[in-house]
Structure 1
Amino acid sequence: MNPAPHAAQAGSTPDPLSSFARFVLFGGGVGLLSSGAVALLAGAMPWALANAVITIASTLLCTELHARFTFATPHRPGWREHWQSAGSAAAAYAATTAAMTALHLLQPSPGALTEQLVYLSASALAGIGRFLVLRLVVFAGGTGRTSASTTWTATLDARVKIA
């Protein structure tokens, strides 16, 4: 049985709609599991530390899942992909934190419904941004490792062989 049939057979990134559906499925699933894990771990350590540990673990797991299933890369993600993914997760965290901070500055005592509306809206926008960064930068072209220099080198090698 081929461990990644879609990557080996297709040889490219899945279409944007199916990639986005997988992104939501895997990212959302890990997010739900993470919320429970933070609650459990917070019984043994301060909540902020538990949240940091779970955030790091879930970002590593999501990067692996997104590389393999969401964007069908033919290899496991390396350090570069993990750092870029972590950067996009940190940017998403900053965006949701900024939205909530702005809400509390504009309305010091918002209701729970308003807070959820703002948080979920900011999370959705940040998630779309994160999906685009992962698709267009981190896992671009289904390989996640192609750069301008490697493309130029491959083109030069091909021209030398022809000549």
Structure 2
Amino acid sequence: METARSQQQTAPGAFLAFARFALCGGGVGIASSFAITALAAWMPWSLANAAITVVSTLLATELHARFTFGAGGRATRSQHAQSAGSAAAAYAVTCLAMLLLHQLVATPGAVLEQIVYLSASALAGVARFAVLRLVVFARNHAQTQKPQNPQQPPRRHAVAGAAQGGLISRSESVEVTLAS
């Protein structure tokens, strides 16, 4: 059983989480931009963007659950669904940016399209980070810190094995929240 304290310690701070988010999400985003360019040669850009958005959202949500926000494992269906909402907003932002580009420039080159797409993705990514950190993955940490029944306080146990192994002092107790 994990303690509430150990789960709190595994959750990274805002700066570290953002750095991880940028690494994971940025890596997926850059790969996505190349994939969209390739797919757009065979289908309309908005359809290619939709397909890549679905695949990249699934991949990025798993990476964020496992690595970025320290959720401790695979993303749940609920987290995927919530993440999909923020991805839908990001899809709308990138589509709008590309629509505006094509309204302003008759035949933009691939480099300009990449600059506009990645800029729109970066803007949407900052908003998506806030949603994922404050809503989607924050709920896991809040649930493990609060007892299942708010009227019943968490049960506390001294962990003798950890004390004997030198992990904690014999006088320390470790708070363990047990699911009822």
Shared fold, TM over 0.5: yes
- What does the per-residue CA deviation read over 1:5-46, in whole Å, with 9 as the maximum and x for residues that have no partner? xx9565452111111111111112223344555677x5xxx5
Q: Residue in 1 aligned with 2:170? A: none
2:50 and 2:91 in contact (8 A); partners too: no
1:77 and 1:144 in contact (8 A); partners too: no
Gaps of 5+ in 2: 155-180
Give the Cα separation in 2 of the matches to 1:98 and 1:36: 19
The alpha-carbon distance between structure 1 residues 25 and 77, as it changes in their structure 2 partners (threshold 3 A), is same
2:53 and 2:87 in contact (8 A); partners too: no
- Give the one of 133, 136, 141 matched to 1:135: 133
The code of the aligned residue for 1:155 comes to P
> Secondary structure of the equivalent of 1:127?
helix
Q: Residue in 1 aligned with 2:149? A: 154
Give the Cα separation in 1 of the matches to 2:16 and 2:61: 17
Count of equivalent residues: 147
Q: Residue in 2 aligned with 1:126? A: 124
Gaps of 5+ in 1: 1-6
**Percentage of matched positions with identical amino acids:** 51
> Secondary structure of the equivalent of 2:88?
helix
Instruction: Write 1 or 2 for the structure with the bigger share of helix.
Output: 1
Q: TM-score, normalised by structure 1?
A: 0.68
1:100 and 1:115 in contact (8 A); partners too: yes
Q: Residue in 2 aligned with 1:62? A: 60
Q: TM-score, normalised by structure 2?
A: 0.63
The code of the aligned residue for 2:136 comes to V
**1:24 paired to 2:22:** yes
2:102 and 2:108 in contact (8 A); partners too: no
The alpha-carbon distance between structure 1 residues 124 and 57, as it changes in their structure 2 partners (threshold 3 A), is closer
Give the Cα separation in 2 of the matches to 1:120 and 1:37: 13
RMSD, matched Cα: 3.6
> Secondary structure of the equivalent of 2:20?
helix
How far has the Cα of 1:135 moved from its partner? 0.4
1:38 and 1:47 in contact (8 A); partners too: no
Give the Cα separation in 2 of the matches to 1:86 and 1:136: 15
Pick the structure with greater CA Rg. Answer: 2
